[in-house]
Amino acid sequence: MGSPLEIVAVPAFADNYLWLIQDADSGETAVVDPGDPAPVLAEAEKRGWHISTIFNTHWHPDHTGGNLAIKERTGATIIGPAGENGRVPGLDVALNEGDKVLLGAHEAEVWEVPGHTLGHIAYIFRGDKVAFVGDTLFAMGCGRLFEGTPEQMHRSLSRLAELPDDFKLYCAHEYTLANARFAAHAFPGNQAIGERLTAVERARAAGKPTVPTSVAEERATNPFLLARNIEHFADLRREKDNFRSA
Annotated catalytic residues are: 58, 60, 62-63, 116, 135, 173
Strand partners, 101: 108
Residue 202, judged by CB atoms within 10 A of its CB (0-12, 13-18, 19+), counts as exposed
**59-79: string of b/e by CB count within 10 Å (b at 16+)?**
bbebbbbbbebbbebbebbbb
Strand partners, 11: 17
φ/ψ (deg, to 5) at 145: -90, 75
- In DSSP notation, 180-195 reads HHHHHHHSTT-HHHHH
Distance CA 229, CA 196 (A): 23
Helix (H, G, I), strand (E, B) or coil at 74: helix
User: CA neighbours within 13 Å on the CB side: how many for 216?
Assistant: 5
Q: What is the widest separation between alpha-carbon atoms in the chain?
A: 52
Distance CA 63, CA 172 (A): 8
Triad 35, 39, 44: Cα angle to 5°: 110
